[in-house]
């Protein structure tokens, strides 16, 4: 009788434990496309529960994932990844945005298609999300404000192409346009346009003048936005050579300075660190990774050129860069410019976090005090 009681109690205990156990969380991989996106849903054991496609729209994603229980969703960086990740987080899901350039299993696969990519993302996210090298998107407001700088940058590139086209057309008939900045190029060029190409060039110069006017309007909006909404840019503009465009682009790209444990990590985030391919005693010198935002990296390199140039004021950055230029052969100047840009990014982040006053000759003055 005692044995029967024990045997009958065990099943009840097992059933009670099973009923209290939380349901296993699902894992979803999404391969984003411009019109349609492929998805794959895995259970806790890694078995495929569902696969399919959905429209790459707010309605399509809401209809598919809004009523689903909280799960881990992996997707790659791309044009649609910012708004899709924000939408899925609002639905209560754990969203992992994978760095597309680091997931070699996807972009080097011999069988690459949307269905396979979604399945690969799901399996990697289920095993360990760190395998996807997850990134953090900037906020919605920062993205909207950064669009203002990107639009201005696009107009600057258009103006440069139009100016180069005008110079090339004049040279082809034996003439030459005078040197001028983009602001006054159209006005100065009108006086030196040869008669042979005047009919062709005058409309081109009108477009250059119109684009320059639009760029000035963007500059006014960005300056006003920096003064009213982004006061931290004033800290960065203490550095000679760093203007409102560079400081605003840096601020909006980083968005949250506290997500970096050290200021030196910002240089790696912006792709200013050299690549590594060390093996044994072989340690070749390679070019920089060029990861991150290319516009910010280009602006920082431009600031470095000014710091090391003829008009650059005396500072620790300038002295350090000029010292690097004295060694290293024919590529010494190029390496020095990149090194100064890398250190400039670190200094800008440090000023942003600490709110300190920039001292151009802090290290030099400290060395003199120590020597005294």
The tens digit of pLDDT for each residue in 314-347 reads: 999 999 999 998 887 778 899 999 999 999 999 9
> Could you state, in order of their start, the residue ranges of all structural domains in the chain?
27-135, 141-228, 233-365
pLDDT reported for residue 20 = 46
Alpha-carbon span 145 to 141, nearest angstrom: 6
The whole-number pLDDT of residue 327 equals 80
| DSSP 8-state assignment for residue 95 | E
Let me know: does 223 contact 148? Beta carbons within 8 Å: no
pLDDT at 285: 78
Q: How far is CA 227 from CA 149, 214, 297, in A?
A: 15, 20, 23
pLDDT of residue 1: 42
CA distance 34 to 78: 10
CB contact at 8 A, 317 and 242: no
Angle, in degrees to the nearest 10, between helices 244-254 and 140-171 = 140
Burial 312-327 (b: 16+ CB within 10 A, else e): beebbbbebbeebbee
For residues 121 and 27, give the distance between their C-alpha atoms in angstroms, rounded to a whole number: 9
Look at residues 209, 247, 210, 214 and name the one whose alpha carbon lies nearest to residue 231.
247
Tokens for 96? 């992992």
| Global confidence as pTM | 0.84
Neighbours of 292 (CB within 10 A): 18
The structure tokens listed for 90 are: 């609002």
CA atoms within 13 A on the CB side of 308: 24
* Distances in whole angstroms, Cα of residue 103 to Cα of each of 29, 107, 369: 13, 7, 51
For the chain, report the end-to-end CA distance as a whole number of angstroms.
96
What token pair was written down for 315?
């500072």
Which pLDDT value is given to residue 231? Answer: 92
Q: Where are the alpha helices (DSSP H) in the chain?
A: 2-20, 58-65, 81-90, 104-107, 114-127, 140-171, 185-189, 198-228, 233-236, 244-254, 265-269, 294-308, 316-325, 332-354, 362-371
36 Cα distance to chain centroid: 25
Which residues are paired to 134 by β-bridges? 98
Paired sense of beta strands 72-76 and 27-31, if any? parallel
What is the rounded distance in angstroms from the CA atom of residue 159 to the CA atom of residue 281?
49
What is the model's pLDDT at position 148?
96
Q: What is the DSSP string of 25-85?
A: PPEEEEE--SSEEEEEEE-TTS-EEEEEEEESSHHHHHHHHSSSPS-EEEEE-SSSHHHHH
Tokens 């809401």 sit at which residue?
62
Q: Which CATH class is domain 27-135?
A: alpha beta
User: What are the residue ranges in the chain where pLDDT is below 70?
Assistant: 1-24, 367-372
Q: What is the pLDDT of residue 101?
A: 80
């Amino acid at each position: 009788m005692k044995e029967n009681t024990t045997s009958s109690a065990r099943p009840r205990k097992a059933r009670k434990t099973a009923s209290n156990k939380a349901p296993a969380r699902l894992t979803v991989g999404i391969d984003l496309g411009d019109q349609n996106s492929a998805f794959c849903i895995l259970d806790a054991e890694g078995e495929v529960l569902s696969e399919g496609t959905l429209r790459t729209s707010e309605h399509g994603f809401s209809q598919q994932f809004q009523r689903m229980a909280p799960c881990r969703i992996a997707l790659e960086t791309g044009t649609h990844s910012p708004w899709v990740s924000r939408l899925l987080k609002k639905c209560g899901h754990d969203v992992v945005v994978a760095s597309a350039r680091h997931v070699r299993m996807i972009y080097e696969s011999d069988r690459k298609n949307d269905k396979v990519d979604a399945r690969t993302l799901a399996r990697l996210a289920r095993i360990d999300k760190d395998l996807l090298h997850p990134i953090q998107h900037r906020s919605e407001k920062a993205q909207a404000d950064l669009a203002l700088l990107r639009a201005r940058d696009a107009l600057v590139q258009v103006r440069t192409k139009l100016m180069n086209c005008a110079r090339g057309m004049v040279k082809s008939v034996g003439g030459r346009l005078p040197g001028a900045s983009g602001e006054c190029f159209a006005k100065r060029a009108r006086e030196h346009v040869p008669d042979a190409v005047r009919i062709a060039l005058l409309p081109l110069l009108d477009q250059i003048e119109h684009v320059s006017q639009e760029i000035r309007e963007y500059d006014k909006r960005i300056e006003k936005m920096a003064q009213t909404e982004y006061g931290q840019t004033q800290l960065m503009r203490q550095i000679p050579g760093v203007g409102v465009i560079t400081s605003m682009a840096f601020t909006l790209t980083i968005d949250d300075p506290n997500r970096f444990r050290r200021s030196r990590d910002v240089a790696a985030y912006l792709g200013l660190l050299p690549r590594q391919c060390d093996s044994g005693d072989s340690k070749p010198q390679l070019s920089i990774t060029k990861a991150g935002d290319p516009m910010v990296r280009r602006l920082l390199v431009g600031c470095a050129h000014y710091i090391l140039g003829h008009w650059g004021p005396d500072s620790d950055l300038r002295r350090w860069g000029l010292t690097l230029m004295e060694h290293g052969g024919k590529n010494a100047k190029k390496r020095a410019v990149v090194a100064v840009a890398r250190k400039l990014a670190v200094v800008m982040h440090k000023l942003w976090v600490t709110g300190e006053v920039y001292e151009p000759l802090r290290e030099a003055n400290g060395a003199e005090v120590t020597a005294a």
